[in-house]
Amino acid sequence: MYKCEFCGKLSKPGEKSYTIIAKKRPKVYHVVYTKLIIKRRPGKGKRKKKIRISKLTKGWEIAKELKVCLDCYNRLKNVAQS
């Protein structure tokens, strides 16, 4: 059971809830990882080299989600498409 955050209606037990993204904001992610390079040398064996790579990537972060009923979900979905 849950309460619809759009219309305020109380759901029936076992009824499925739907989530709508209400707000999102830009986010910068700092990604740091280590890359392992293996060079095979004939007669001398393997040589391993570690390279540390750091990148900045941009994306979106969900700031607020609404839990809504099926009727409100369909209503909001039709408004967003038109």
pTM for this prediction: 0.60
Residue 82: what pLDDT? Answer: 66
What rounded mean pLDDT belongs to the chain?
Answer: 89
**Low-confidence spans in the chain with pLDDT less than 70:** 82
Query: pLDDT value at position 45?
Result: 76
Instruction: Return the pLDDT at 39.
Output: 84
How high is the pLDDT of residue 21?
A: 92
3-state secondary structure at position 14:
coil
- Say if residues 28 and 56 touch (Cβ distance below 8 Å): yes
Compute the distance between CA of residue 52 and CA of residue 42 in angstroms, rounded to an integer: 27
pLDDT of residue 41: 78
